[in-house]
Amino acid sequence: MAIRELTLAHAGERDLSKLAEYQAIGGYKALAKARKMKPEAVVEQLLASNLRGRGGAGFPMGRKASFLAKGTGKPTYLCVNADESEPGTFKDREIMLLNPHRLIEGCLVTAHAIESQNVFIYLRGEYLDVFEVMRRALEDARKAGLMGDVTIVLHRGAGAYICGEESALLESLEGKRGQPRPRPPFPAVSGLYGSPTLINNVQTIATVPVIVEKGGEWYAKIGPEPSPGTVVFSLSGNVERPGNYELLLGSGLRELIYDLGGGIPDGRELKAIIPGGSSTTVMTPDQLDTDLDFNSVAEAGSQLGAAAVIVIDDRACMVQLALRSTQFYMHESCGKCTPCREGTRWMVQLLQKLEDGRAEQSELDLLLSVCDRVLGKCLCALGDFAAGPVVEYVRNFRDEFQRHIDEGGCPFGGESSLEGTFAPVDQHTHAPVAEVPA
């Protein structure tokens, strides 16, 4: 297993948030190169690279860029999704804190490729430190005359996970209530202010410079074929050395947890792994030999998602875990569509009853039925993010759910701990995020 740093290259050794340092390692050369190329030529490199989106769905970025409607007479927009709010995810934060210019260079190269003059970075509101770093970096880049005819707007969200969903992000940017839009029309045709819009994750965009620098074909060859390149894995939960690790896709799950992460502390046993953030399906220790790339994780029945690996040891009660996850989704449901709005609340009520040991047998079946009635029926993926994992918690840990019913209480008897895995929902800010001094 090799750490392979592209988006975080040299970030460990130097302060890349300083423009001069970034330029010293060859920064903004890809921009200069790209600007000498025809926009279509840049898109071709992106297509050739087979770079898949790092925001969760893994859609090939070059293809998405090539879908953008042309000749509409309207401006084309680029929106960078930096809303990173899913439990377990913190890779974008690291990239922006340690290597802000890499993202800015990526924005400028992509803007050139899609002939856009307007870039918006939609930043999670609570990321105040990131905001300051990005703001300074943007100012430096502007002063250094790197912007060309492009304007980059750094927009802070107001504390809603749903605004990471691309169409809700657009609504929010437009100043409206952050709620998803039905698709079609897709943002590539009618996005921000009804204009063609490309939306990509921070890491996706931060990977663009290296592709332009070394060529799409080069990139396509590193890592496994269907999903090449590197991903910054956010390792958290019950491991010795949590943190961000930029690895080639296809690296082993076992190596990440045990070699890089140092294994489970305090001689505890590994109980479960959530491979891609709280919205992805739980995996069990017998799946440790799964390779971490989009296809392999999917074959193992889960999703790579945003590569947020949460390690859970044997202190955790899985009913409590399911409850906490669902509480998060209930709290973050935007309330637009019926199944998610009402279903998440009902799921929480049922899970709470189960966890308290007050549930009847039929209520476990009811829980699964409610999940089933949410799955695949919502306007956006959040409903599935809430219900899908619960079904899998029950499927993989049915005994534990059953014991809550049979024993009339939690078998852990209050000893269960979710420490380091999922924060309770009251720790998610709901109040307006802190103001930035002008």
Partner 1 sequence: MSATELVTVTVDGREVHVPPGTGLVETALAAGVEIPVFCYEPRLGAAVGACRMCLCEIEGMPKLQAACTLTATNGMIVRTAQTSERAAEGQEATLEFILVNHPLDCPVCDKGGECPLQDLTFRWGPGNTRMTFPKRTFEKPIPISPAIALDRERCILCYRCTRFSESVAEDGQLVALNRGAESVIATFEDEPYLAPFSGNVIELCPVGALTSTQYRFEARPWEIQNVPTVCGLCPVGCNIQATTREGKVKRILSRNHPEVDEGWLCDKGRFAFTHLRARDRIADPLRRVRRRGFDVLSWDDALGEAAELLMQAQGRIVTALSGSETVEQAYALGRLMRAGLGAHTGVLPEETSPALDAFRLPLSAIRDAELEPVAERAPIVELWVKAARRQGAQVEQAGDALEGCRRLADKRNALGKSLRESERAILIWSGEEGAGGAHLAALAKELGFAGKPASGAFHLPCTPNGRGIADAWAAASDDEGPNPEPIGLLFVSGDEAAADPNVRALAERAERVIVNAMFQGLAVGWADLVLPGTSYLERDGTYVNLEGRLQRLRRAVIPPAPDELAWISKLAERFAVEVSPHASAVFAEVSERIYDGLPFGEVGEEAPLRTRSEAPAPQLPSEPAAEGKGLRLVRYRPLFSGPAVERVPELQFQRPAPEVELSPGDAGRRGIAPGETVTVTHNGTSLQLRARITKSLREGIVRIAAEHAGELGGTVEVAK
Ligand X SMILES: Cc1cc2nc3c(=O)[nH]c(=O)nc-3n(C[C@H](O)[C@H](O)[C@H](O)COP(=O)(O)O)c2cc1C
Residues that bind ligand SF4 (CB under 6 A): 162, 179-180, 333-337, 340-341, 378-380, 382-383
When asked if residue 347 is in the footprint of partner 1 (CB under 8 A), the reply is no
Task: List the single partner that 140 binds among ligand X, partner 1, ligand SF4, none, CB under 5 to 8 Å by kind.
Answer: none
Shortest Å distance, C-beta 333 to partner 1 = 4
334 binds partner 1 (CB under 8 A): yes
State how far the Cα of 168 lies from the Cα of 189, in Å rounded to an integer: 16
Site string for ligand X, 377-406 (x = CB under 6 A): ---xxx--x---------------------
Distances 350 to 92, 115, 296, 320 between C-alpha atoms, Å: 34, 51, 33, 12
Closest approach of Cβ 276 to ligand X, in Å? Answer: 11
Residue in the structure block whose two tokens are 């999703």: 303
Residue 283 tokens read as 């995996």
Q: How many CB atoms sit inside 10 A of residue 41's CB?
A: 12
Provide the pairing of β-strand 308-313 with 270-274. antiparallel
Name the binder of 320 from partner 1, ligand SF4, ligand X, none, CB < 5-8 A by kind.
none
Shortest reach from residue 199's CB to ligand X, in Å: 5
Looking at residues 379 to 398 of the shown chain, list those that interact with partner 1 (rule: CB under 8 A).
379
Q: Pick one of ligand X, partner 1, ligand SF4, none as the site partner of residue 366 (Cβ within 5 to 8 A by kind).
A: partner 1
Q: Are 58 and 294 in contact (CB under 8 A)?
A: yes
- Look up residue 268 and give its two tokens: 């505890």
- Using alpha carbons only, give the angle 302, 2, 80 rounded to the nearest 5 degrees: 60
Name the DSSP letter for residue 335: S
> Strand, coil or helix: what is 120?
strand
Q: Are 121 and 134 in contact (CB under 8 A)?
A: yes
CB 425 within 8 A of CB 331: yes
Token pair listed for 336:
């637009």
Region 163-202 residues binding partner 1, contact defined as CB under 8 A: 177, 181-182, 184
Helix segments in 59-177, DSSP class H? 61-66, 91-98, 100-113, 128-143, 166-173
Q: Please state, in angstroms and rounded to a whole number, the distance separating the CA atoms of residues 220 and 388.
A: 32
Indicate the helix (H) or strand (E) that contains 391: helix 382-396
Q: Verify binding: residue 12, partner 1, rule CB under 8 A.
A: no
Q: Is 339 among the residues that bind partner 1 (CB under 8 A)?
A: yes
- Binding residue for partner 1, selected from 10, 124, 336, 403, defined by CB under 8 A: 336
Q: How far is the CB of 155 from partner 1 (least distance, A)?
A: 19
Q: Is 162 in the site for partner 1 (CB under 8 A)?
A: yes
Stretch that binds ligand X, among 36-44, 79-87, 307-315, 421-429 (CB under 6 A): 79-87
Q: How many residues bind ligand X (CB under 6 A)?
A: 24
Q: Does 250 bind ligand X (CB under 6 A)?
A: no
> By CB under 8 A, is residue 268 in contact with partner 1?
no
Least Cβ distance, residue 378 to ligand X (angstroms): 10
Nearer residue to ligand SF4 within complex by CB, 74 or 341: 341
Q: Identify the residue among 7, 17, 85, 303 touching ligand X (CB under 6 A).
A: 85
In whole angstroms, how close is the CB of 154 to partner 1 at the nearest point? 24
Would you count residue 159 as binding ligand X (CB under 6 A)?
A: no
Q: Does 200 bind ligand X (CB under 6 A)?
A: yes
Question: CA 367: distance to chain centroid?
Answer: 27
Angle (CA) 164-185-198 rounded to 5° is: 50
Binding ligand X (rule: CB under 6 A), the pick from 27, 53, 87, 388 is 53
Nearest CA to 206 out of 387, 381, 51 is that of 51
Distance (Å, whole) CA 351 – CA 353:
5
Query: What are residue 82's DSSP bridge partners?
Result: 123
Provide the binding-site residues for ligand X, judged by CB under 6 A.
Answer: 53-57, 59, 61, 81, 83-85, 161-162, 164-166, 199-201, 204, 380-382, 385
Provide the binding-site residues for partner 1, judged by CB under 8 A.
Answer: 160, 162, 177, 181-182, 184, 330-346, 349, 366, 369, 373-374, 376-379
